[in-house]
Chains A and B, each alone.
Chain A
């Protein structure tokens, strides 16, 4: 029974990764590594943590993808959960499409348009404050990246959330250690994010960002205090595709091996084939 659940979970995760790879290849766009590393976080939230349906229910939980460049991963999870269709997925990066690289609230299941880093957390804090004023039990979840913590506005919102005891606000930091042009430790070192969040009055948990049980445990952990909660989810950029994890292009051999490659690069057909072979077969 346990194994069966595990199989189902692996298939689920692989299906999400297949959608990310297939749509990125079809649309010939990048941000693949950023999407692959948040798959477990999104699946944990949508399958085990949040109450997301029905969409019309004002009491459902809210999710804000502040690192909006991971929208394709969110579309894949929304498709698996029946919020959007396969046709919708095939509209990714189409002309006059609501399914862009960054999420738009026009998409069923998406409540806020995001994409400018540092924007989402203050919206999430507003949504959490609204729930408290309305005496609603709905929870607000917001996914940001470690590099996003470079933005001063993140800390404006962090101060407000602890001051106002927004215990219904849960932030997940995609702690992948790199940013657009380099490793975070070389750009603005974020290795002590746990201390920083704690010093801003947040309850801090740390979890393996690729372990569903660890993420679910952290996200559902309770505290008698009403502090807002941040889960630092340690992730591997490009998770699931070895050459992406290593920052290695296959067919674009003139490029240097560097971790940031798969923040930007689209895949060639050959790279797509290799990536698919690495994933466990679905079924």
Chain B
């Protein structure tokens, strides 16, 4: 952020009173370009809309669900309807705020915001890809939503920070199963691929890091050469990655069989660590492996 802001004086940073130990460097370096707008996410998006129309490049910041779902209509009728370069950051994607409980889970932001074709949705898998993605998308003329992870140690070295708009990034090139993953769960997908390889099942992991434009061509190409695919995401089953892949398979008339691992149940009042939540919803590496193996047994029967 600081590097981008140093190079582009149009950049402002607005926070909805969140970002302890995150905001400080920017605030110190650019005190006149930092605004804590208070706990008021609708107004934050409205302010950013007015600022962007006047030539600024405002970034807004909050926890993913507060950054997206609370002001959803302000996003739709503001930067999206008026095609203005507002950059919205939602922190703590998926179950990253695990112990904070269901009110803090970012499990519908991407599915909901994907419904707005004019909004580029970016879901980096790790910090290195976040840096690339923010640089690649910083000059886009329209609005962008970033669903970010807050854990700097959660790295996916095989990805090498690669990011291209409208493209998927591939790790491995095995033909037995295509594992299509999104966000920090891509680490689980790659770990599952390694376990599967040890059992003689070769896979390709496709990391999807943005929608609008969707990586349709890359995924269609992969799925055309796959008999089995499995999607992995910490998002609602309706509208997220699984829905995207299912649509590609159906519209291209592919014979690929699909299993979707996603959030399929309403919150039950429990909370736990991110890893606990992944296990609970069947999204962790073990669940991916057993899902592929179960499917393999069906396929080979």
Contacts and interface: CB of A to CB of B under 8 A. Distances in A.
A130 B38 contact: no
Interface in A205-226: none
B50 A129 contact: yes
Report which residue of A125, A126, A129, A160 has the largest number of chain B beta carbons within 10 angstroms of its beta carbon.
A126
Interface string A116-138: 10110111111111110110000
B48 A119 contact: no
Contact of A122 (B12, B43, B58, B81): B43
A159 B48 contact: no
Interface in B49-86: 49-56, 58, 73-74, 77-78, 81-82
B82 A126 contact: no
A260 interface: no
B5 interface: no
B51 A111 contact: no
A179 to B, nearest CB: 19
B38 A125 contact: no
Given A130-B56, A159-B38, A160-B43, A122 B51 contact: no
A160 B55 contact: no
A25 to B, nearest CB: 29
B77 A115 contact: yes
Contacts of A134: 54-55
A159 B40 CA distance: 10
Contacts of B49: 112, 122-123, 126
B47 A122 contact: yes
B239 interface: no
B272 interface: no
B50 A127 contact: yes
Contact of A119 (B53, B54, B74): B74
A153 B37 CA distance: 13
B274 interface: no
Contact of B82 (A112, A124, A156, A157): A112
A105 interface: yes
Contact of B53 (A122, A127, A160): A127
A53 B121 CA distance: 37
A113 B83 CA distance: 11
A178 to B, nearest CB: 24
Contacts of B78: 119, 123
A114 B73 CA distance: 12
Contacts of A112: 49-50, 53, 82
Most buried by A among B40, B42, B54: B54
Contact of B73 (A111, A116, A156): A116
Contacts, number: 94
A129 B47 contact: yes
Contacts of A131: 54
Interface residues of B, number: 27
Contact of B50 (A125, A153, A156): A125
A121 B54 contact: no
B175 interface: no
B166 interface: no
Given A115-B77, A160-B37, A160-B38, A123 B46 contact: yes
A125 B81 contact: no
Interface in A151-209: 152-153, 156-157, 159-160, 163-164
B43 A113 contact: no
A118 B51 CA distance: 17
Interface in A75-120: 105, 111-116, 118-119
Contacts of B52: 126
Nearest to A142: B50
Contact of A113 (B45, B54, B81): B81
B38 A122 contact: no
A264 B71 CA distance: 28
A122 B54 contact: no
Nearest to A119: B77
Given A112-B53, A113-B81, A116-B73, A126 B40 contact: no
29 contacts: A58-B54, A112-B49, A113-B77, A116-B73, A119-B78, A122-B43, A122-B49, A122-B74, A123-B50, A126-B47, A126-B50, A126-B53, A129-B35, A130-B53, A130-B54, A131-B54, A133-B32, A134-B54, A152-B42, A153-B40, A153-B74, A156-B40, A156-B42, A156-B43, A159-B38, A160-B37, A160-B47, A163-B38, A164-B35
7 A-B pairs closest in CB distance = A126-B50, A122-B46, A130-B54, A156-B43, A126-B47, A127-B50, A156-B40
Interface of B: 12, 32, 35, 37-38, 40, 42-43, 45-56, 58, 73-74, 77-78, 81-82
Given A153-B43, A156-B43, 12 more contacts: A58-B55, A112-B53, A119-B74, A122-B42, A122-B43, A122-B74, A123-B50, A125-B47, A126-B53, A129-B50, A130-B54, A159-B40
